[in-house]
């Protein structure tokens, strides 16, 4: 087991307000920090802001304020966003703070005294947006190799860090430590970069060109290059050179970064640390980009996603969930509001929310809000003699292991998917056990078992997701009557933690379904699902939604009712029969060709004993349009028609009057 975990985000520039990319790295770090605490590992989570340099100076000039004012104004936005997003950072470092500047000066002086920094004439190409120098051969078609913008030729005296001398050592180190740069393809990218000669790093800017930075301790005509200043935050925040014990206590770190800042973190930073005689970071993990649709997010395209708006509109936890579930770490991911809503409705409103509603309302209805089931560990263990219960428990344990593996491999998306699959398995378990029938036939012990097992599943799955959705999962655990709303991993690996008699509280829908604009236009969503709550669970502060959230209070535990969500997944459409014939070798089946709007489809229907093929031509019937295609007697059927049957009698459902084919049936 790791004995401690120190995790960092990049420190963000204060030239502009935070966007979804910044939010992503910070939420990721938060989720990892929360899991680590859950494992009982001592954890330190650092984020902060990068406040010096040209970018900030320029933004300040454009706004007609000083760079410090620019930083002070923007940092508030970052801090407010982290608060809103439930970020549990242990420290927030600003590079304009004295505690940081002091360490930067100390590092510079130390390296200067040791001859690692020297003064020389420099002649090179400078990219202002990237704030980096490049040599002639670095340029790509005379443009900056990083951002592809024009570069300026600059000749001036500067200070240099002897980075070049560490190339061979660094290559060796990277090769021998596969965990050092992750994912693999990013490691190869850095190794590729290191194939060429590694230049020394220019670490100063003459004050006459840039005033906004930390003055070099050995030459007051210069300020420190912003990257050299910024990277030091990772050690200044934990007391390097000031509180040695504290520093040794936390270092080395796991650095989370975006792929845009790979070279600075995997080449500049390790060589700086090496020159200082410090251990290397444990891991530098570079994630991909959030794209908006297929495009890069940019102010000029006007497609920048504001995380505050998303959190306001859909809830913080849902936003956190989407970001973690959707991005395969390392790869780019696409953000669209549509995909957000789709995932929200499927995973959270339907699968997860549904399970909670079922459990809570049935315990309310059948057991007056008190959890039935085992009173001690032995009784809980006995439940596992039932193969269905044991198989569900095994699935839950798979979800626990899957999450642990996901964390090790930095594939949180897989960990989260594993939990959702356990949730779905539990929903199937409930459906298959038919508790409403058990209640009707007074099979008390069996009913209690089903309710208890489903509640146990909620305990484990909510615990596993609590680092991702801390507030909602805590609410859920409170609803189950649990006091320990901040779970420990050990608890999640155990079976039978809930005890009979715990007070189960109906807190209303945890994830109110989001009604899409399409559904609104159809007038199909609200109003239909608002079944009154008949459960006797004690209802507390229902989280009724805003304009977009529908406060659906289904109570599908009543007999075999389905929710409106369930029903609305079935797409019923009108279809006009244009061809019909018997299928050879059977006396029951007909092959039909129908028109549904523009679409022509083939169906197989077991109605040959009730209708002559010719009688069907021209009829407008009703078809389940989204049924999974199936082959019946070798003939593909893409949909199913609806008919009323009683005994031997069968009559097709048709439409009363004229309506276009392909019309929705509701």
User: Which stretch, 5-13, 84-92, 114-122, 545-553, contacts ligand MSP (CB under 6 A)?
Assistant: 5-13
Q: Which is nearer to ligand MSP, 13 or 429 (CB)?
A: 13
Q: How far is CA 276 from CA 117, 300, 361, in A?
A: 12, 41, 62
- When asked if residue 25 is in the footprint of ligand MSP (CB under 6 A), the reply is yes
Rule CB under 6 A: is residue 131 a binding residue for ligand MSP?
Answer: no
Among residues 233, 208, 216, 229, the alpha carbon closest in space to that of 53 is found at: 229
**227: three-class secondary structure by DSSP:** helix
441 burial level (CB within 10 Å; 0-12, 13-18, 19+): exposed
Among the candidate windows 111-119, 128-136, 170-178, 257-265, which touches ligand MSP by CB under 6 A? 257-265
Whole-angstrom distance, CA of residue 526 vs CA of residue 550: 7
Exactly one of 33, 38, 87, 261 binds ligand MSP (CB under 6 A); that residue is 261
Q: 3-state class of 515 per DSSP?
A: coil
Contact (CB, 8 A) for 84 and 320: no
Is 270 a binding residue for ligand MSP by CB under 6 A? The answer is no
User: Distance between alpha carbon 518 and the CA centroid of its chain, in Å?
Assistant: 25
Stretch that binds ligand MSP, among 166-174, 228-236, 363-371, 459-467 (CB under 6 A): 228-236
Tokens standing for residue 191:
């190794």
Smaller CB separation from ligand MSP, 105 or 601: 105
Q: Is position 297 an interface residue for ligand MSP (rule: CB under 6 A)? A: yes
Among 5, 6, 13, 564, binds ligand MSP (CB under 6 A): 13
Cα atoms in the 13 Å half-sphere on the side-chain side of 321: 31
Q: Which residues touch 296 (CB under 8 Å, ≥6 apart)? A: 289
Closest to 206 (Cα-Cα) out of 263, 146, 157, 147: 157
Cβ closest to ligand MSP, residue 262 vs residue 464? 262
Separation in Å, CA 469 to CA 34, 35, 87, 414: 11, 12, 11, 16
Q: Which of residues 35-94 bind ligand MSP (CB under 6 A)?
A: 50
- Find the part of the chain contacting ligand MSP (CB under 6 A) among 126-134, 142-150, 256-264, 510-518: 256-264
**Contact with ligand MSP (CB under 6 A): which of 85, 174, 203, 230?**
230
22 binds ligand MSP (CB under 6 A): yes
Residue 280 is classified by DSSP as P
CB atoms within 10 A of CB 175: 11
Q: Which of the stretches 36-44, 229-237, 390-398, 554-562 binds ligand MSP when contact is defined by CB under 6 A?
A: 229-237
Ranges within 366-385 binding ligand MSP (CB under 6 A) = none
To ligand MSP, the closest distance from the beta carbon of 52 in angstroms equals 10
Taking CB atoms, the residue at the shortest distance from ligand MSP is 21
Closest approach of ligand MSP to the CB of residue 161, in Å? 16
Measured CA distances, 32 to 85, 258, 323 (Å): 15, 16, 13
Q: Is 402 in the site for ligand MSP (CB under 6 A)?
A: no
Total residues interacting with ligand MSP, rule: CB under 6 A? 19
Q: For ligand MSP, which stretch binds (CB under 6 A), given 78-86, 207-215, 226-234, 564-572? A: 226-234
Q: Kindly give, in sequence order, each residue whose CB lies less than 8 Å from that of residue 243, ignoring residues fewer than 6 positions away.
A: none
Q: For residue 482, give the 3-state DSSP assignment.
A: coil
Among 5, 6, 7, 12, binds ligand MSP (CB under 6 A): 12
For ligand MSP, give the closer residue by CB, 269 or 352: 269
11 binds ligand MSP (CB under 6 A): yes
Segment lying near ligand MSP (by CB under 6 A), choices 9-17, 190-198, 413-421, 609-617: 9-17
Nearest approach in angstroms of CB 113 to ligand MSP is: 24
CA dist 442 → 315, 364, 366, 435, 445 (Å): 41, 16, 10, 10, 9
- 296 vs 375, which CB is nearer to ligand MSP? 296
Binding residues for ligand MSP (CB under 6 A)? 10-13, 21-22, 24-25, 50, 230-231, 233, 257-258, 260-261, 289-290, 297
């Amino acid at each position: 087991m790791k004995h401690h975990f120190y995790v960092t985000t990049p420190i963000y520039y204060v030239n502009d307000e935070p966007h979804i990319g910044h939010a992503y790295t910070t939420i990721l770090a938060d989720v990892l920090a929360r899991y680590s605490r859950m494992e009982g590992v001592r954890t330190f989570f650092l984020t902060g802001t990068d406040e010096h340099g040209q970018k900030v100076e320029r933004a300040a000039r454009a706004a007609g304020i000083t760079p410090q004012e620019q930083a002070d104004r923007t940092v508030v936005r970052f801090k407010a966003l982290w608060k809103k997003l439930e970020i549990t950072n242990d420290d927030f470092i600003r590079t304009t703070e004295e505690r940081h500047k002091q360490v930067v000066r100390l590092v510079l002086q130390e390296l200067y005294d040791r001859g690692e920094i020297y003064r020389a004439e420099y002649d090179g190409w400078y990219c202002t947006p990237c704030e980096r120098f490049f040599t002639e051969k670095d340029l790509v078609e005379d443009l900056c190799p990083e951002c592809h913008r024009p570069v300026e030729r600059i000749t001036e005296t500067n200070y240099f860090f002897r980075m070049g001398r560490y190339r061979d050592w660094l290559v060796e180190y990277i090769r021998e430590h596969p965990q050092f740069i992750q994912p693999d393809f990013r490691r190869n990218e850095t190794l590729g970069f290191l194939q060429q000669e590694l230049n020394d790093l220019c670490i100063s800017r003459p004050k006459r060109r840039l005033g906004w930075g930390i003055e070099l301790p050995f030459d007051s005509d210069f300020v420190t290059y912003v990257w050299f200043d910024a990277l030091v935050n990772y050690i200044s925040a934990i007391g390097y050179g000031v509180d040695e014990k504290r520093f040794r206590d936390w270092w080395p770190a796991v650095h989370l970064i975006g792929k845009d800042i790979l070279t600075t973190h995997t080449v500049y930073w390790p060589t700086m640390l090496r020159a200082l005689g410090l251990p290397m970071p444990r891991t530098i993990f570079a994630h991909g980009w959030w794209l908006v649709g297929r495009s890069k997010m940019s102010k000029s395209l006007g497609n920048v996603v504001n995380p505050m708006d998303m959190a306001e509109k859909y809830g913080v936890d849902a936003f956190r969930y989407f970001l973690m579930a959707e991005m395969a770490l390392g790869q780019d991911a696409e953000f669209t509001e549509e995909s957000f809503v789709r995932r929200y409705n499927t995973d959270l409103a339907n699968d997860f929310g549904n399970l909670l509603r079922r459990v809570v309302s049935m315990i309310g209805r059948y057991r007056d809000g008190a959890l039935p089931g085992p009173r001690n560990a032995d009784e809980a263990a006995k439940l596992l003699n039932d193969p269905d219960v044991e198989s569900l428990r095994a699935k839950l344990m798979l979800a626990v292991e899957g999450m642990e593996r996901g964390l090790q491999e930095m594939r949180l998306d897989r960990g989260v998917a594993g939990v959702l699959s356990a949730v779905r398995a539990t929903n199937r378990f409930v459906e298959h056990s038919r508790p409403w029938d058990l209640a009707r036939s007074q099979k008390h012990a069996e009913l209690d078992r089903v309710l208890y097992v489903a509640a146990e599943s909620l305990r484990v799955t909510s615990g596993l997701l609590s680092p991702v959705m801390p507030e909602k999962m805590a609410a859920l655990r409170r609803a189950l009557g649990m006091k320990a709303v901040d779970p420990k991993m050990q608890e999640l690996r155990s079976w039978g933690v809930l005890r009979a008699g715990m007070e189960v509280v109906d807190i209303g829908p945890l994830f109110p379904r989001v009604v899409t604009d399409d559904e609104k236009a159809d007038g199909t969503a609200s109003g239909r699902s608002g079944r009154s709550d008949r459960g006797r669970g004690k209802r507390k502060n229902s989280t009724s939604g805003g304009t977009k959230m529908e406060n659906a209070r289904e109570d599908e535990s009543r007999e075999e009712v389905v929710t409106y969500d369930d029903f609305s997944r079935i797409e019923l459409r009108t279809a006009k029969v244009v061809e019909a014939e018997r299928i050879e070798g059977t006396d029951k089946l007909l092959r039909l060709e129908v028109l549904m709007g523009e679409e022509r489809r083939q169906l197989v229907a077991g109605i040959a004993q009730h209708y002559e093929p010719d009688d069907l031509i021209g009829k407008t019937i009703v078809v389940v349009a989204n049924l999974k295609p199936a082959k019946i007697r070798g003939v593909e059927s893409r949909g199913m028609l609806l008919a009323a049957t009683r005994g031997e009698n069968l009559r097709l459902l048709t439409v009363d009057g004229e309506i276009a084919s392909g019309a929705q049936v509701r």
